Amino acid sequence: MAADKPSFLLIHGAWHGAATWRHLIPLLEAHGHIVRAYDLPGAGANAKAPAASLRQPHDAAALATEPSPNAGVTQADRTQAAIGWIEDMHRQTGLPVVLVGHSMGGLTVTAVAESRPELVSAAVYLSAYMLPPGELPGAVRRHPTMSGSLIGALAIGDPQKTGAARIDPHNPDPAYRDLVKRAFYGQIDDAMLDENLAHMHCDEPLTVLTAPSPMTRERFGSVPRHYFRALNDESVLPAAQERMIAAVDDAMGNRTMVHTLPSSHSPHVTHPAELAEQLSALARTL
């Protein structure tokens, strides 16, 4: 029965929402797991769109300067929401939960595992931000190991003026669409790209990028952790993934279990069956 197996709480990454997990969830459920995914505060159905992003014809200049209606959302808001979800899952099953974060969703995984380690049976990072103690998320993007990341090429406007890390997923320009495709999904067809773009939003609050990692040996370091490296990632580059793994292992005094996938930045979209197999196998070791 599903209640006898570890359950999964899936935390989406930047500019995405819970819908990004729609291909993976039924595959994990077929393995007998309870799986939950929700929109973080300021994301998915909870994201407020800048008016310029909805204007027709497309007005790139206006979008580059309009203040973000999501600017007030903080990492603390997201952490508290996820703690509520994981507490609810624990009440339902009586078991700790495997917490999986993609990309910037790793920030929430770390914060929850630090706050409530007793409820997390494993912290899983899927090509995600896994930052050593005190490191700022914004520092990851500026690190030399991220040189060549496509995320910078997608940026719209000045974050200090808009209050957000802004991209333009609904931009009709073919060159920009191709950048979005490569940055997040790699080689997918246009129909699949359109399906994914429909679920994306423009703004990630700048405040999330300025919250230092709360990781400690005593709490976070007591939780088994796993990192899934995406070998063809053009957003969080493989060298950056390796740098974060090494830095956290050094800070925590123990090792991250490392897995690999031959995917772009979003293996849950492009390689869901392979990822489901590996996550279910991981759960059987807990």
For residue 191, the Cα-to-chain-centroid distance in whole angstroms is 23
How many domains does the chain divide into?
A: 1
Domain that holds residue 253: 2-284
What pLDDT does 13 receive? 98
- Residue 100 to residue 235: CA distance in whole angstroms: 18
Among 106, 149, 96, smallest CA distance to 126 is for 106
Q: Is 228 helix (H, G, I), strand (E, B) or coil?
A: strand
pLDDT at 176: 96
Check residue 96 and give its pLDDT: 85
CB atoms near residue 198 (< 10 Å): 10
pLDDT at 54: 87
The predicted model scores a pTM of: 0.96
pLDDT at 2: 52
Percent composition of the chain: helix, strand, coil (DSSP 3-state, to 5)? 50, 15, 40
- Residue 153 is part of a domain; what is its CATH number? 3.40.50.1820
- Reading the chain (286 residues) residue by residue, the pLDDT tens digits are 455 789 999 999 999 999 999 999 999 999 999 999 999 999 999 999 999 998 888 888 999 999 999 999 999 999 999 999 999 999 998 888 999 999 999 999 999 999 999 999 999 999 999 999 999 999 999 999 999 999 999 999 999 999 999 999 999 999 999 999 999 999 899 999 999 999 999 999 999 999 999 999 999 999 999 999 999 999 999 999 999 999 999 999 999 999 999 999 999 999 999 999 999 999 999 9
Q: What does the alpha-carbon distance between residue 236 and residue 105 come to, in Å, rounded to a whole number?
A: 13
157: left (phi over 0), alpha (psi -120 to 50) or beta: left
pLDDT value of position 158? 96
